[in-house]
Structure 1
Amino acid sequence: MFLLPLLLGGCSCQRDAGDASRAHAAAAAQPNDAASGDALGDIPIPALSAVAAGADSEGRVVRHYLNAVMRGDRAAADAFWSTGRSLGADDAALRALPGLRTLRVETDAPIARDEDQPSRLREVPVRIRAATADGVQRYKGWYRLRPKPDGSGWEIHAASLQPMLD
């Protein structure tokens, strides 16, 4: 007599078929490839980087540097250089623009300029539009960056900018 309700209604300790299918669907939705970890999906593979995790990207460092140039903050701009200051860098013309009002910077993806793994010399192609009291000037070129000695981020090592004609 007690067995009849168990046979007809099932036991409360049994798994619901809906729960089983939801668990299977959730497991199937989990990525299981080399980008997310090993074949079991539980050990992530860190990306190779010459600088500390969480450090600004190469392009962001260049944009922060040019923002300091735009503000006219020479000390802050110089701090982005590996030497602690710009020593006759090829962007001196940009730094010396009188009456700089706005600076628009477009950066492309960094290019490795060495064969180290991870790369320790990166080049960031740039296009710059500088608006001054006298008009608009455009530049095209690159900034080369290398890791800071302590590996905490990137610093500018060299630059090359050429004026563009309209």
Structure 2
Amino acid sequence: MLIRYALPLVAVATLALVFVLRGCGGERTPTPVATASAEAAAGSEARSAARAQAVAEAELRQHYESAMRAAVSTLHRYLAKLPEDHAAADAFWSGGAPAADATEADLRALASPPRQFRSRNRAPSVLEGDPLPTAVRIPVDLRLVPAEGPMRRYAGWYELRHEPAGDAWRITAASVDALPAAQ
């Protein structure tokens, strides 16, 4: 007789235990618990992504600065040749000669190379190209002492464009004016 009552009691107790263990709302998916290793992995991925982005930005900045230095260097080489060798200077122009509307005051009309020639440029401004410049304008201040006569000063700008085929910068435009003599 005891077995007759015990068996249903055991069954009811088992069902109650299952009901308590599963919860009242039916079966649920367990909520994932963040572990130290999961948090470390997520932090490591974030640091790795930030590092990769910083490397890419640094590389882009380096290419930008290199392009600007190359443009300025091309202009300085041109200005060094201009007073002494017009043919060699013309090779720095796109098309092999100054543009028809380019003005360089009397720099091309000097009778002989100057005794002194000094060129200074200000920071180039990007005309085209993002994120890497393909065309720039470089402001210049020039000072020269001709073989005969007083010192002359000039101010203006040169525009240069990058030609990818030869990986070279070429002058495309210029506007340089003589400044009045200092009194």
TM range (shorter): 0.5 to 0.7
Per the alignment, residue 123 of structure 2 pairs with 109
Say if 2:80 is the partner of 1:67: yes
Kindly name which structure, 1 or 2, has the bigger radius of gyration based on alpha carbons: 2
> What are the within-5 Å matches in structure 2 for residues 12-27 of structure 1?
none
Q: CA deviation at 1:44?
A: 3.0
Name whichever structure is richer in helix by fraction.
Answer: 2
% same residue? 32
| Among candidates 85, 91, 104, match of residue 97 of structure 2 | 85
Distance of 1:154 and 1:119 partners within structure 2: 11
Equivalent position amino acid for 2:158 in 1: Y
Distance of 2:130 and 2:55 partners within structure 1: 23
Q: CA deviation at 1:87?
A: 3.7
Distance of 2:110 and 2:99 partners within structure 1: 17
Structure 2 gap segments, 5+ residues each: 1-47
Per the alignment, residue 111 of structure 2 pairs with 98
Moved more, 56-65 or 138-147: 56-65
> What are the within-5 Å matches in structure 2 for residues 39-78 of structure 1?
39-40=50-51, 44-45=55-56, 46-47=59-60, 49=63, 57-70=70-83, 72-78=84-90
Higher RCO (Cα < 8 Å, 6 or more apart): 1
Structure 1 residues 38-87: Cα deviation after superposition (integer angstroms, max 9, x where no partner):
6346983222658xx689522211110010113x2222101100111124
Per the alignment, residue 175 of structure 2 pairs with 160
Q: CA deviation at 1:119?
A: 2.8
TM-score by length of 1: 0.65
Per the alignment, residue 6 of structure 1 pairs with none
Does structure 2 retain, via aligned residues, the 8 Å contact 1:58–1:145? yes
Structure 1 gap segments, 5+ residues each: 1-36
Per the alignment, residue 18 of structure 2 pairs with none
